Amino acid sequence: FPSHDTVAAPSATTNYDVITQVVQYYTTDATANFTLNFRGNSSISLASYMSIGQSVEVVLLVTNGATPYYPNAFQIDGSAVTPKWITGVAPTAGNANSVDVYTFTIVETAAATFTVFATQNKFA
| Whether the predicted pLDDT of 80 surpasses 80 | yes
Cβ neighbour number for residue 45 with a 10 Å cutoff: 16
- Segment 12-23, tens digit of pLDDT: 999 999 999 999
Q: Which pLDDT score, from 0 to 100, does residue 44 have? A: 98
Beta bridge pairs of residue 36: 14, 74
Rounded to an integer, what is the distance from CA 53 to the centroid of its chain?
20
User: Which one, of 52, 111, 64, lies nearest residue 91 by Cα?
Assistant: 64
Per the confidence metrics, is the pTM higher than 0.85?
yes
